[in-house]
Amino acid sequence: MDFEVLRKRMVEEQLIPRGIKNYRVLEAFRKIERHKFVPQELAASAYADYPLPIGEGQTISQPYIVALMTEYLGLTGEEKVLEIGTGSGYQTAILSQLAKEVYSIERLEILAKKTEEKLKAMGYENIKLRCADGTLGWPEEAPFDRIIITAAAPRIPLPLSEQLKEGGKIMLPLGENSIQLLTLAEKTKGKLESSEICNCVFVPLLGKYACKDRDTL
């Protein structure tokens, strides 16, 4: 199977026609080998236009959704990014091409360990991983220029909004039902101003600040 052809086709047929324009983002999608981030038996479907299971009841998002979230982050190569929900590590690898440093947190030990070994073997040097509750953020490394949550949250967890730099952006699927709203929030004068992008479906964010009464927006 020629994965490079499939990758190019994914960019030409799924990303560009739906409005993904940033040259660096498109380049990252042409480069990162998505088939290495899905279970081996699903490699043939790695570039298809839908999400795939990655084990432990979790999923790798559809390529377009990964691209859309990435494009809205507006990365120039200088940013320190925090990702919550490492999962397969695909979004992490995409971010590592586009930002200066990526810090990514996964709460499930099995996934965290597998992905850490994989990313290490692939030679990524600007990625740091941690197995923990990502709703607490990564205080020792804060503040962050960008934060991306790749699981559905009812509210933006308070520690994460505190760990976001002034002028920084946070991207997440907001909502607690089966459908959420992809939301981009920007920190201006200490407050988050959010805009809604589109509907989306993600697995739920779990953890201390993932329940409604502890959160804030």
Active site residues: 61
For residue 147, give every residue at least 6 positions away whose Cβ sits within 8 Å of its Cβ, in sequence order, or none: 81, 82, 83, 84, 137, 160, 163, 164, 168, 169, 170, 171, 172
Residue 59, classed as helix, strand or coil, is strand
Q: Should residue 205 be labelled a site residue for ligand SAH when binding is judged by CB under 6 A?
A: yes
Within positions 40 to 69, which residues make up the interface with ligand SAH, using CB under 6 A?
54, 58-61
Residue 217 binds ligand SAH, judged by CB under 6 A: no
> Peptide bond preceding 39: is omega within 30 degrees of 0, i.e. cis?
no
Q: Does 170 bind ligand SAH (CB under 6 A)?
A: no
Binding residues with ligand SAH: total (CB under 6 A): 26
Looking only at residues 108 through 147 of this chain, which bind ligand SAH when binding is defined by CB under 6 A? 108, 111, 133-135
97 touches ligand SAH by CB under 6 A? no
For residue 206, give the DSSP letter: -
Cα separation, 198 vs 21, in Å, equals 17
Among residues 107, 108, 130, which one has the least CA distance to residue 119? 130
**Residue 203 interacts with ligand SAH (CB under 6 A)?**
yes
Stretches 4-12, 21-29, 174-182, 206-214: which one binds ligand SAH (CB under 6 A)?
206-214
Of the candidates 191, 203, 85, which has an alpha carbon nearest to the alpha carbon of residue 147?
85
Of 75 and 151, which CB lies nearer to ligand SAH in the complex structure?
A: 151
Residue of closest CB approach to ligand SAH: 87
Q: Is 159 in the site for ligand SAH (CB under 6 A)?
A: no
